[in-house]
Amino acid sequence: MFRTVFPAAVLASALAFSSLASAQNTIKIAILGPMSFVQGENHWAGAEMARDEINKAGGINVGGKRMQVELIRGDTNELQSVPDATNAMERVITRDKADFVIGGFRSEAVLAMQEVAMDYKKIFLGAGAADAKLGDNVEQNYERYKYWFRVTPTKSPDLFRTLMAVLNTIADQVRQSAKREQVKVALIAEKAAWTEGIVKGVQATLPKMKMEIVGTWQPSPLATDVNAELAAIERTDADIVFTSVSGPVGITLARQMGERNMKAVAFGINVEGQKDEFWNAAAGKANYVSTLDTYAEVEVTPKTIPFVKAFKTRYKKSPTYNAATYDAIMLLKDAIEKEGTTNADKLVAAIEKVEHIGTAATATWDKKHDLVWAVGKTSGIAVQWQDGKKVPFWPPQVKGMQPFKMPAK
Amino acid sequence: MLQDILITGLVNGGVYALLAIGFSLIFGVARIVNIAHTAFYMLAAYCFYMLLVKLHLGFLTAGVISVAGVTLFSVLCYRLVIEPVREHESAVLIATIALALIFQELMLYFFGGHYLGIPSTLDGGVRFLGVSIPYQRMLILLVAAAMLLLVWFILYKTRLGLAIRATANDLEVANLMGMNVHRVAMATVALSVGLAAIAGVVVAPVFVVDPFMWLAPLVTMLAIVVLGGLGSLKGSLIGALIIGYVEAITVFAVPGGAYLKGAVALLIMVVVLLVRPEGLFGVAFEEER
């Protein structure tokens, strides 16, 4: 009996000790995203860059003790299944013992993941979802939801403000080109939670901006064909096709607009349009398609251009906004080093007060733990596909912007 | 607006018809509900993408290899997975669902969830009655029509077709008459999947290639074959056109409800199942078979 039990006890003690030692020497950060998809790849890539930079410099200084960053990869599969996302969150917290969680993409999934993270009082830094409800939760029940902060993107009402600012610039260009005051806008928005506010906002705001809405089309986010929608839009003689799409329908839309040689210019949010692979996925038919974006080789902050260049060198492609997991980890590092602890409650208080200059934004947070919106600071940028290249054109005051182009009428 | 609906519905109907014909054939003849039908269509699209975009083999070579490769692969799948359980319809259904999911996960593993684009075989387009029609979509219409004729020719003008029809009419009698019914079923599977593969090669350039691209057309295709009459080729064609037009009307009449076009197709399927389970043209086509 003793011969059996004693070695087992020694082994268990050794394992427990090594686990404790490991826990004491590293800060475990779980990166959660759909890892088989571009969003998750960028979540992970941004985090890897932050981890390597921090660890190379000796780690995070926690009250005088240097601790290395250890990343945990949590595949949420959230594009296919919300339960998979909550399971992934549960797993990284309970099994992998993550100290902090970062990531998420699809609002429906992030809302569910937020609940799990809050149950365990884990700081959850969002790096993908725009739904305003995530921040509203913080305002409505601060004690429960205070561990949530949105690092990227801005919440959907603020995305809307950015969209209107860029749309106004484009509409002015249309007015000059067409030599008329009224601009016709067709709205095409996938049917999803995050577009609801945008659709209502556009319908209410555009008439005040001397723009006529000629119709609103709402295909499924997974639609493989928007031929009928585009045929209807062509009939309206729209000048601008205002897009709010995050799924593959964004590629279909751009490609089929190109195949139809449509004279209207597409602008809005087209998440697929932010990726380098977009041009090829749309078979080279996506000329003049423009979208809000986060990263380009322009000086949004002093850290943007070096980060984008380093990312391109390492991963052979540009980062998408989900790569702001880099900023999230750096934000944690700054807060931990300032407070000298990894205690979640103390870090929440620190992040609430900080102004963090990241690679994607110069960020401060409001009482909902949402980014405080400001053009050129947290608004992001707008880019347009021109002959196979993604060209940044807005906000004009940011160094490195280029002209927006219109298709020939 | 009327001409938009007429032309858009026709073009979309052509895309659906190309997929529905093969599915209907395999059910009508071999009585196999092949849920993996559109998964083979997905495999063909990936194969075409690899050969055309990555290996630069040219449209024709890439297309022929893709169709032939996927067709041969389907025969292998039939021998290994479907044939052993063919006597049990529910087992066939489950086996083909499993096959489709395996193909999906394999593509997800090898290609990730990236959306891939295939260049158009034919660039440009024409304007007809003020409606833009890309040449690629006209090609799909032509291929769909050609495939219908080809299937009709094989079924009614060849010995293989005679055997297929005899097997469909009465499996046991055909067996007693000395026909190798297993080989006939295998030939039917090959013909059916060949059509799906051709659809993958021709249709993929207007859509986006991804591991989940088989799901949406599967649902639409089921609606079409139920509407037209399960196993009826002509019914599938007519069903495809009806669904194409219903979708076009939904988008034009209710722009804000464009996402409902799939649901409308399914609603039609449910109504047909309740009111006329054999499909709109089921009786007439049953006699023809």
Domain spans of chain B, in order of start? 2-213
pLDDT at B284 over 60: no
Nearest residue to B115 via CA among A395, A168, A247, A308 = A247
A104 in any annotated domain? yes
ipTM of the complex: 0.75
CB contact under 8 A, B259 and A41: no
Q: Which residue of A has its CA nearest to B49?
A: A281
Q: Which of A306-310, A360-364, B28-32, B83-87 has the lowest mean pLDDT?
A: B28-32
Q: Which residues of B touch A41 (CB under 8 A)?
A: 112
Q: Where are the alpha helices (DSSP H) in A262-358?
A: 278-281, 304-315, 325-339, 344-353
For range A267-284, the mean pLDDT: 90
The alpha carbon of residue A107 and the mean position of all alpha carbons in its chain are separated, in whole angstroms, by 11
Q: Which helix (H) or strand (E) holds A212?
A: strand A211-217
On average, the pLDDT of chain B sits at 86
Helix/strand/coil for A377:
coil
Domain match, A137 and A191 both: no
From A217, A224, A228, residue closest to B208, measured CB to CB: A224
CB contact under 8 A, B210 and A248: yes
Domain match, A284 and A385 both: yes
CB contact under 8 A, B125 and A260: yes
Tell me how crowded residue B285 is: count the other CB atoms within 10 A of its CB.
23
Tell me how crowded residue A6 is: count the other CB atoms within 10 A of its CB.
10
Q: Which residues pair with B133 in a beta bridge?
A: B126
Domain match, A318 and A386 both: no
* A84, A187, A222: best to mutate for the B interface, most B CBs within 10 A: A222
A214-268 pLDDT, tens digit each: 999 998 877 778 888 888 898 899 999 999 998 888 999 999 899 888 889 999 9
User: Residues A346, A349, A354, A356: is their CA dihedral positive or negative?
Assistant: positive
Q: Which residue of B has its CA nearest to A196?
A: B256
Q: A74 versus A397: which is more confidently predicted?
A: A74
Q: What is the pLDDT of residue A238?
A: 94
A229–chain B Cβ distance below 8 A for any pair: yes
A402 in any annotated domain? no
From B7, B108, B255, residue closest to A216, measured CB to CB: B255
Domain match, A75 and A136 both: yes
Q: What is the pLDDT of residue B1?
A: 67
* B115, B138, B206: best to mutate for the A interface, most A CBs within 10 A: B115
Domain match, A198 and A135 both: no
Q: Which residues of B touch A219 (CB under 8 A)?
A: 258-259
For range A77-94, the mean pLDDT: 94
CATH of the domain at A197: 3.40.50.2300
Q: What is the pLDDT of residue A409?
A: 64
Q: What is the pLDDT of residue A5?
A: 45
Q: Which residues of A touch B120 (CB under 8 A)?
A: 259, 283
Domain match, A210 and A357 both: no
Domain match, A195 and A228 both: yes
Domain match, A244 and A106 both: no
A252 in any annotated domain? yes
Domain match, A335 and A247 both: no
A213–chain B Cβ distance below 8 A for any pair: no
Confidence at B282, pLDDT banded by 50, 70, 90: low
Q: Which residues of A touch B214 (CB under 8 A)?
A: none
Domain match, A282 and A318 both: no
Q: Give whole-number Cα distances, B118 to A53, A114, A270, B133, in Å.
A: 38, 38, 20, 18
Is residue B190 within 8 A of residue B70, CB to CB? The reply is no
Q: What is the pLDDT of residue B233?
A: 79
A2-39 pLDDT, tens digit each: 444 445 444 444 444 444 444 468 999 999 999 988 89
Domain match, A169 and A282 both: yes
Helix/strand/coil for A7:
helix
A227–chain B Cβ distance below 8 A for any pair: yes
Domain match, A191 and A334 both: no
Q: A288 versus B30: which is more confidently predicted?
A: A288
For range A375-382, the mean pLDDT: 93
Confidence (pTM): 0.78
Q: What is the least distance, in Å, from the CA of A187 to any CA of chain B? A: 10
Q: What is the least distance, in Å, from the CA of B180 to any CA of chain A? A: 41
CB contact under 8 A, B258 and A228: yes
Q: Encode A78-111: b = buried (16+ Cβ within 10 Å), e = exposed.
A: bbbebebbbbbbbbbbeeeebbbbbbbbbbebbb
Q: What is the pLDDT of residue A77?
A: 92
Q: Count the domains in chain A.
A: 2
Q: What is the pLDDT of residue A226?
A: 87
Degrees to nearest 5, angle at CA A333 with A327 and A338: 130
CB contact under 8 A, B256 and A218: yes
CB contact under 8 A, B251 and A256: no
Q: Which residue of A has its CA nearest to B245?
A: A228
Instruction: Say what percent of chain B tops pLDDT 90.
Output: 29
**Position of tokens 């998809």?**
A37
A106-160 pLDDT, tens digit each: 888 999 999 999 999 999 999 999 889 999 999 999 999 999 999 999 998 898 9
**N-terminal to C-terminal alpha carbon distance within chain A:** 89
Q: Give whole-number Cα distances, A259 to A220, A286, B124, B125, B194, in Å.
A: 21, 9, 6, 7, 28
Distance in angstroms (rounded) separating the CA atoms of residues A129 and A347: 22
A78–chain B Cβ distance below 8 A for any pair: no
Q: Which of A243-257, A335-349, B21-35 has the lowest mean pLDDT?
A: B21-35
CB contact under 8 A, B112 and A284: no
A405 in any annotated domain? no
The whole domain housing A170 covers 157-293+380-394
Q: What is the pLDDT of residue A24?
A: 61
Q: B268 versus A162: which is more confidently predicted?
A: A162
CB contact under 8 A, B256 and A216: yes
- Residues contacting A343, CB < 8 A, separation 6+: none
* B42, B128, B132, B219: best to mutate for the A interface, most A CBs within 10 A: B132
Q: Which of A88-102, B139-153, B269-283 has the lowest mean pLDDT?
A: B269-283
Q: Which 3-state string (H, E, C) describes chain B?
A: CHHHHHHHHHHHHHHHHHHHHHHHHHHHHHCCCCCCHHHHHHHHHHHHHHHHHHCCCCHHHHHHHHHHHHHHHHHHHHHHHHHHHCCCHHHHHHHHHHHHHHHHHHHHHHHCCCCECCCCCCCCEEEECCEEEEHHHHHHHHHHHHHHHHHHHHHHHCHHHHHHHHHHHCHHHHHHCCCCHHHHHHHHHHHHHHHHHHHHHHHHHHCCECCCCCHHHHHHHHHHHHHHCCCCHHHHHHHHHHHHHHHHHHHHHCHHHHHHHHHHHHHHHHHHHHHCCCCCCHHHHHHHC
Q: What is the pLDDT of residue B170?
A: 79
A67-78 pLDDT, tens digit each: 999 999 999 999
A179-218 pLDDT, tens digit each: 888 899 999 998 887 788 889 999 999 999 989 999 999 9
Q: Where are the alpha helices (DSSP H) in A96-248?
A: 107-119, 133-140, 142-145, 156-178, 193-205, 227-235
B92-133 pLDDT, tens digit each: 999 999 999 999 999 999 998 888 988 888 887 788 777 778
Is residue B25 within 8 A of residue B188, CB to CB? The reply is yes
Instruction: Say what percent of chain A tops pLDDT 90.
Output: 73
Confidence at A320, pLDDT banded by 50, 70, 90: very high
Q: What is the least distance, in Å, from the CA of B35 to any CA of chain A? A: 19
Distance in angstroms (rounded) separating the CA atoms of residues A384 and A402: 10
Radius of gyration of chain A from Cα atoms? 23
From B53, B247, B251, residue closest to A232, measured CB to CB: B251
pLDDT at B269 over 50: yes
For range A319-338, the mean pLDDT: 97
Q: Which residues of A touch B205 (CB under 8 A)?
A: 283
CB contact under 8 A, B206 and A34: no
CB contact under 8 A, B115 and A261: no
CB contact under 8 A, B251 and A228: yes
Q: Which residues of A touch B132 (CB under 8 A)?
A: 231, 234, 260-261
A39 in any annotated domain? yes
Distance in angstroms (rounded) separating the CA atoms of residues A267 and A183: 14
Q: What is the pLDDT of residue B248?
A: 83
